[in-house]
């Protein structure tokens, strides 16, 4: 089939809007929406740190932030990679992230769980108790990202979450009845002391499109999947949304749109948590002891048995 916008051969069919797109028009289609998201969420001046795991979404987010800021004298991009210590999985993506940053001349910071927390995720996995690895991974990854972003004085952290991830999170919070968490989802509008605000440039781009965008731009894509993903609760929501999208194309967009409709009410009902430095590590926290320090205590307790 030919592209719906020109006579060239199409490379993809976008089901939810019924269009065939050639390579150029597909790239334009993705970039237009990402630029719109960036305008809408706001890109503060200064250093924009990208959380670069080395997975395809983070590469696409990093590339697009690099592209929109490369002629901007008020903004610069740098990347932070968190090495959780997942044997046989993370080494490859850390290398992809490093090579990518070398190619585009992006300053790259790597921080590891082992060095910062004292244990790899593989070691935590052995004493994880009834919590899935993803719980530890998520808490300590946010902790590590915030440490580096503060050290380098970043004004924002761009995350690679795509439309699938965001619609899963909205649905998950809704099903769990955790509306307060929904109100606190990134992108953050209010600047909190010590907490670097997050932006989600790929929030409106479906995963299939971020994958194709990475592919047409020649980014190296790792085929490996995290060995702990199997225990992630998110999997149920991912499968459900894939089925829903199959039957009703555009469902993920509708979930995001519904969230936009209620976002202001949520922010009025739940004002941002009051953050104070954690008594142990000094990182911003809504409790006396931050979640990272609480989890670390729990792990140490398990190890001493």
The contact set with Zn ion (CB under 5 A) reads 3, 5-6, 8, 22, 25, 278, 280-281, 290, 293
Q: Closest CB to ligand SF4 among 37 and 133? A: 133
Pairwise CA distance, residues 115 & 74, whole Å: 33
Write down the least CB distance from residue 69 to ligand SF4, Å.
27
Answer yes or no whether residue 138 interacts with ligand SF4 by CB under 6 A. yes
Pairwise CA distance, residues 95 & 90, whole Å: 9
Write down the least CB distance from residue 90 to ligand SF4, Å.
8
Burial of 86 (0-12, 13-18, 19+ CB in 10 A): buried
Write phi, then psi, for 110 (nearest 5 degrees).
-115, 130
Q: What is the DSSP string of 259-272?
A: HHHHHHHHHHHSPP
Write down the least CB distance from residue 5 to ligand SF4, Å.
37
Provide the β-strand partners of residue 77: 48
124 binds, among ligand SF4, Zn ion, none (CB under 5 to 8 A by kind): none
The window from 74-82, 133-141, 270-278, 281-289 that contacts ligand SF4 (CB under 6 A) reads 133-141
The window from 40-48, 98-106, 225-233, 247-255 that contacts ligand SF4 (CB under 6 A) reads 225-233
Pairwise CA distance, residues 64 & 1, whole Å: 28
Confirm if 183 and 175 have CB atoms less than 8 A apart: no
Per-residue interface string for the shown chain with ligand SF4, residues 71-110, x marking contact by CB under 6 A? -------------x--------------------------
Provide the β-strand partners of residue 50: 79, 158
Q: Closest CB to ligand SF4 among 131 and 266? A: 131
Write down the least CB distance from residue 289 to ligand SF4, Å.
22
Answer yes or no whether residue 256 interacts with ligand SF4 by CB under 6 A. no
Residue showing tokens 């907490």:
195
Q: Is 155 helix (H, G, I), strand (E, B) or coil?
A: strand
Write down the least CB distance from residue 228 to ligand SF4, Å.
4
Pairwise CA distance, residues 303 & 156, whole Å: 36
Pairwise CA distance, residues 268 & 22, whole Å: 43
Answer yes or no whether residue 229 interacts with ligand SF4 by CB under 6 A. yes
**Which of 232, 244, 266, 275 touches ligand SF4 by CB under 6 A?**
232
138 binds, among Zn ion, ligand SF4, none (CB under 5 to 8 A by kind): ligand SF4
Q: How many other CB atoms are there within 10 angstroms of residue 304's CB atom?
A: 7
Answer yes or no whether residue 289 interacts with ligand SF4 by CB under 6 A. no
Write phi, then psi, for 204 (nearest 5 degrees).
-105, 10
Answer yes or no whether residue 124 interacts with ligand SF4 by CB under 6 A. no
Residues at the interface with ligand SF4 (CB under 6 A): 84, 133-134, 137-138, 226, 228-229, 232
């Amino acid at each position: 089939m030919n592209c719906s916008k020109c006579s060239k051969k199409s490379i993809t069919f976008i089901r939810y809007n019924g269009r065939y797109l050639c390579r150029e028009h597909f790239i334009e289609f993705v970039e237009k929406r990402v630029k719109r998201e960036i305008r809408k969420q706001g890109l503060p001046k200064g250093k924009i740190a990208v959380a670069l795991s080395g997975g395809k979404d983070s590469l696409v987010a990093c590339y697009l932030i690099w592209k929109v800021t490369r002629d901007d004298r008020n903004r610069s991009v740098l990347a932070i990679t968190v090495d959780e210590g997942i044997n046989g999985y993370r080494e490859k993506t850390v290398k992809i992230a490093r090579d990518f940053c070398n190619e585009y001349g992006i300053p790259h910071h790597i921080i590891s769980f082992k060095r910062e927390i004292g244990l790899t995720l593989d070691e935590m996995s052995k004493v994880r108790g009834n919590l899935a690895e993803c719980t530890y991974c998520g808490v300590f990854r946010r902790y590590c990202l915030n440490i580096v972003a503060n050290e380098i004085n970043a004004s924002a952290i761009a995350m690679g979450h795509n439309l699938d991830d965001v619609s899963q999170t909205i649905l998950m919070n809704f099903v769990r009845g955790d509306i307060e968490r929904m109100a606190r989802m990134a992108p953050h509008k209010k600047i909190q002391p010590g907490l670097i605000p997050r932006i989600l440039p790929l929030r409106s781009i479906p995963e299939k499109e971020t994958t194709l965008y990475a592919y047409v731009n020649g980014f190296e894509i790792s085929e490996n999947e995290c060995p702990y993903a199997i225990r992630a609760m998110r999997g149920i929501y991912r499968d459900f949304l894939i089925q829903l999208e199959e039957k009703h194309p555009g469902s993920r967009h509708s979930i995001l749109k519904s969230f936009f409709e209620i976002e202001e009410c949520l922010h009025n009902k739940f004002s941002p948590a009051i953050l104070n430095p954690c008594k142990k590590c000094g990182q911003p926290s809504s409790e006396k002891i931050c979640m990272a320090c609480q989890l670390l205590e729990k792990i140490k307790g398990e190890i001493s048995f």
